[in-house]
Amino acid sequence: MPQLSELSRQMPASPIRKLVPYADEAKKRGIKIYHLNIGQPDIKTPRNVLEKMKNIDLDIIAYTKSQGYDSYREKLAEYYRRNQIDVTADDIIITTGGSEALLFSVGSIADPGDEIIIPEPYYANYNSFVTLFKVKVVPVPSSIDDNFALPPVEALEKMITPRTKAILYSNPSNPTGYVYTEEEVKKLRDLALKHDIFIISDEVYREFIYEGDGHHSILHEEGMDRHAIIIDSVSKRYSMCGARIGCVVSKNKELMKSVLKFAQARLSPPAVEQILSEEALHTPQSYFDEVIDEYKKRRDLLIKELSSIDGLKIGHPKGAFYLMAELPVDDADQFAKWMLSEFNDNGETVMVAPASGFYSDPVLGKKQVRIAYVLNTRDLARSVEILRKALDTYNKR
């Protein structure tokens, strides 16, 4: 049999999706599953976007420019300026989702053997993107006991070597819901300027902040024109995960020339979805007010209910729609599989994302899971009830 590549063996499986076969088998047995494993909101896509989808009038669905429609980039630039991020359409390249934006960015700045510093736990697919380019992840450890805050800047600086190309972080954070303060972002800026490295800020969850002083972008900071890269997407902001439209935003002209070459290699981003994403920019503020209020209710309910489970420890998310929990079990992966394959409560069970895949060293997340509060409050309450019963049953076996 022909041999597969070494790269294919190194490519990590998704911790978010790896339990899907167990879930599929459970569903075949008639088990209802509450999906807390994946950031697919049940929030409706804005009505104006859905109406636009029904009324798109095209004779040909043609290629677009590799950097995306001009009209969409112009309106995106206006959106960023409303958020005090001073960019133009030329500073934006449209991508097929935020994942492609990050892929193009890493490919543009790092060679094999280079290093990217990432606070952990981190979005699991970051591992996949750096693996493709044979780049080394240098993790910055954080603890659930400190609510996953960054360590002192002095500790972070010790991790910088001659091979360091960037610090990559998500703000608000997936998977912890941590929101970086203005002071922390300024410290990251200072490190970038002192050591001449990039800061890659994944700002997909910018709108979803429930307490504190709001969102502080790396491009709010002066002097970062050559050092800052923003990764963004419509997926969560407008509940348009399936549209697969994202973007790279940077004022570094040389970087953007490189990103454009990657974009040209894949020809163009999706045409119809760009039209819908452009329409999404007209979504009224009332939509976001309602959505943020709903997520805050879900977060508060989840924190309250989970806090009542003996032996369970949680982080306190201030943004996004994820919560990290440390379970009173020896192995969260095995427990998550067991909930799908062997346990149910009145024909219902819960699917969570084991946290081992959100760490560079799986042992660090062995007892933890990421919970996405993307279900309505009634279903969330029922999910926690099931989880409580599952833990009790599992630990009495």
pLDDT of residue 8: 85
Token readout for 18 is: 């790896």
Q: Which CATH number do you get for residue 345?
A: 3.90.1150.10
Enumerate residue ranges in the chain where pLDDT < 50: none
Q: What is the pLDDT of residues 250-283, one digit of tens each?
A: 999 999 999 999 999 999 999 999 999 999 999 9
* In-domain check, residue 174: yes
324, 355 contact by CB (below 8 A)? yes
b/e burial code for range 191-221 (CB count within 10 A of at least 16 → b): bbeeeebbbbbbbbbbbbbbeeeebbbbbbb
pLDDT of residue 205: 97
Predicted pLDDT at 164: 98
Listed residues 254, 280, 306: the one ending a domain: 280
180 and 111, same domain (yes or no): yes
Question: Which of 234, 170, 177 lies closest to 199, judged by CA?
Answer: 170
pLDDT value for 1 = 84
Same domain, 105 and 160: yes
Same domain, 246 and 380: no
pTM for the complete prediction?
0.96
pLDDT in tens, 353-372: 999 999 999 999 999 999 99
Q: How high is the pLDDT of residue 197?
A: 98
Answer yes or no: do 274 and 307 share one domain. Answer: no
What is the reported pLDDT for 150?
86
Last residue of a domain, one of 280, 312, 344: 280
Range of the domain at 11: 6-44+286-395
In a domain, 1, yes or no: no
pLDDT at 187 (0 to 100): 95
The reply to whether 197 and 237 lie within a common domain is: yes
Question: Of 280, 301, 330, which closes a domain?
Answer: 280
* Side chain identity, residue 347: G
Sheet holding 198-202, edge to edge: 92-95, 246-249, 228-233, 198-202, 164-170, 115-120, 136-141
